[in-house]
Amino acid sequence: MSAQDNIELVKRFIDDVWNNQNADNARQYLTDDYVEHNPIGDFKGIDEFCTYLESVLEAYPDNQINLKEGTGDGQLVAFRYTIEGTQTGNFGPLEPTNERVKLDACYFGRIEDGKIAESWYQFDQLSLMVQLGLIELPDFMKEMQGQMEARGRRTESERRAPGRPGA
């Protein structure tokens, strides 16, 4: 499969299995020995992954993953995305907070024989805990946010404008 085919595979997986909440369809996208690595832990095999997926969807029944940008090189793909949802169910020992969260995240996947063999997800855990009301931002971070807001935030396109540092 080409890098573009692999990117499309991951897009279909995210849309079908995560956004449309079709855990039963995971087998058509994942290898039998699939491994997922994320901040919660490592999940080995489709059954472990589906148990994890169902716990996320129980806690966040309106969960939506919005892919932003993706790239691929051979067997590897990478995406930047946001994940949004309202925690209306238990997530492990955490009782419902009824708080809506929106997180920035990234995904890396390895494709084997037309299926996803391994995935790495990273999301902003601090932001998650703050948005759920579990912790408060430390004072120095609140101060930094205030300074940023006072200067005015640049949009993503402004940050990428030609001739600007880091563009």
CATH number at residue 49: 3.10.450.50
Judgement on whether residues 129 and 143 belong to the same structural domain of the protein: no
Judgement on whether residues 31 and 112 belong to the same structural domain of the protein: yes
Nearest to 113 by CA among 17, 25, 27, 31: 31
Judgement on whether residues 84 and 7 belong to the same structural domain of the protein: yes
User: Which two structure tokens, joined as six digits, stand for 52?
Assistant: 């994890």
Query: Contact, 60 vs 86, CB < 8 A?
Result: yes
Range of the domain at 85: 3-136
| pLDDT in the model for residue 84 | 94
Q: Which residues contact 144 (CB under 8 A, 6 or more apart)?
A: none
Judgement on whether residues 163 and 125 belong to the same structural domain of the protein: no
User: Which two structure tokens, joined as six digits, stand for 146?
Assistant: 């205030």
Instruction: Please return the burial class of 60, using the count of CB atoms within 10 Å of its CB with bins 0-12, 13-18 and 19+.
Output: buried
Judgement on whether residues 18 and 98 belong to the same structural domain of the protein: yes
Judgement on whether residues 153 and 124 belong to the same structural domain of the protein: no
Judgement on whether residues 110 and 46 belong to the same structural domain of the protein: yes
pLDDT tens across the length of the chain (167 residues): 788 999 999 999 999 999 999 889 999 999 999 999 998 889 999 999 999 999 999 999 999 999 998 999 989 999 999 999 999 999 888 899 999 999 999 999 999 999 999 999 998 888 888 888 888 888 888 888 788 877 776 655 555 555 555 54
- Count of domains observed in the chain: 2
Judgement on whether residues 131 and 146 belong to the same structural domain of the protein: no
C-alpha R_g of the chain:
18
Judgement on whether residues 23 and 92 belong to the same structural domain of the protein: yes
| pLDDT in the model for residue 6 | 92
| pLDDT in the model for residue 149 | 79
Judgement on whether residues 58 and 115 belong to the same structural domain of the protein: yes
Judgement on whether residues 21 and 90 belong to the same structural domain of the protein: yes
Judgement on whether residues 96 and 20 belong to the same structural domain of the protein: yes
